Amino acid sequence: MPSKVTYSMDVERRLFRPAIIRWYRKNQRDLFWRGGNDAYAIWVSEIILQQTRVDQGTPYIARFLKTFPTVESLASASEERVLKIWEGLGYYSRARNMHRAANAVVQDLGGRLPNSVDDWQTLSGVGRYTAGAICSIAFDHRVPVLDGNIKRVLARVLDLSESIDDGKVTDSLWEVMAHLVDGKAPGDFNQGMMELGSEVCTPRKPSCANCPVQKHCMAFANGTQLERPIRKKKRKVPHKEIVVAAIFKNGKYLLGKRPSDGLLGGLWEFPGGKIEGGESHPEALVRECEEELGIIVEPGDLVARVNHAYSHFKVTLNVYRCRHLKGRTKAKVHTELKWVPPNRFEQYPFPKANHKFLDLL
């Protein structure tokens, strides 16, 4: 392992840490969950912001905490209610894991949130980063955090010529952060590193002139800051062509609830699936409805063609209004089926892609 990765920064720590903390206290964004030691609010905010921008996630955090102000209120809610409040954020496993974790806290810990990194990591959906963030911010524990923003900051400070996606490099960066956080105000230091990566040491146009640790940055000194961090080449994102059946009968549409343990688990959707080789859209609709629902439908007009991107693939949804010809519905791939009038759609949590055509129905 190159020495730059495991560089201890012994001398710099005495100057580096205070510079980050001073800058953070002066420049931190005014986010309503900051400034306190409410471990529950910090937990909620950290989970929501894991794969969501702060500007996008802030209203969701506010809505989530208003609806579920305590861990007990979250635990007592139905999964469907939690998913409805989460609706639109994506990565729904985060919501399901929080719900499971809240139940574990209430049932196994008497409603008392953990106060150690190890105990937090026993809860569903809580990894090393989230546990470290909660414990350093809420309990002032000297424990490290490492997210994408901090990786980028360290890659530039240390001028890393190795990919930050490499597991051994990541392990070494955890060690560097464990070394740097060991001092006063660990929560402010950790948040300062995150904030620096988010607001100053940005991916494409780092604002080096405004960086509080510019003089400690080896990449700036070497003129390589725009070349850092090194990332592994991303794979080509696959694309899936999907047919969706908006089956209308007696003023209602047929909806199916997805299994909780899969992609978009617990959400409601219109039936459908991937087009197989050589199939026309009507042929795919008839086959999917028979396979998934046990019924025969007659495809009608195209209602909408919707493009949507997930983290690892993209889809095009071809939404057709369909007529139920014969057969009794049976949930073969869904956990539940319901006939729902359009004026009650807002009561059900849908995948974000479905919201792009709901109004057309």
Contact partners, residue 186, CB within 8 Å, separation at least 6: 136, 140, 141, 142, 143
**What tokens does 81 get?**
């209610």
**Is the Cβ–Cβ distance between 230 and 273 less than 8 Å?**
no
Q: Which of 46, 195, 269, 292 is catalytic?
A: 46
DSSP structural state of residue 360: G
Give the helix/strand (H/E) hosting 301: strand 296-309
* Rounded distance between C-alpha atoms, residue 65 and residue 70, angstroms: 8
**Is the Cβ–Cβ distance between 323 and 294 less than 8 Å?**
no
**Is the Cβ–Cβ distance between 237 and 313 less than 8 Å?**
yes
Active site residue 46: yes
* Rounded distance between C-alpha atoms, residue 25 and residue 191, angstroms: 10
* Rounded distance between C-alpha atoms, residue 190 and residue 316, angstroms: 40
- Strands 239-249 and 252-257 turn out to be antiparallel
Active site positions, annotated:
46
